């Protein structure tokens, strides 16, 4: 019972976050989703920047002129899920 109370206390301070990415390069439309746990009061942009430093984009489009990867073009939506007890 004590372990359950400790877990509940921890979860009251944390939120489950979902970031949905959609490629907007031409007509690609490829999607991927990342789930993570973060502090309830963290700014979504700060959390997203931390994620993007750790998790590389799932794909790149090659620049037709130079044959080098271009920066990923993506639309990002975030959603926060709080644990309510």
Number of domains in the chain: 1
Query: Comparing 2 with 37, which gets the higher pLDDT?
Result: 37
- Interval 49-85: pLDDT, tens: 898 889 877 766 666 666 555 556 778 899 999 876 5
The CA–CA distances, whole Å, from 60 to 47, 63, 81 equal 22, 9, 30
- Owning domain of residue 70: 2-82
Per the CB < 8 A criterion, the answer to whether 23 and 74 are in contact is yes
- Interval 42-59: pLDDT, tens: 999 999 989 888 987 776
pTM of the model: 0.71
């Amino acid at each position: 019972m004590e372990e359950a109370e400790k877990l509940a206390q921890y979860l009251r301070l944390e939120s489950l976050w979902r970031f949905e990415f959609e490629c907007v390069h031409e007509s690609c439309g490829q999607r991927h989703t990342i789930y993570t746990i973060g502090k309830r009061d963290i700014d979504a942009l700060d959390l997203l920047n931390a994620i993007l430093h750790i998790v590389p984009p799932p794909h790149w489009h090659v620049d037709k002129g130079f044959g080098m990867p271009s920066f990923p073009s993506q639309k990002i939506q975030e959603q926060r899920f709080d644990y309510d007890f």
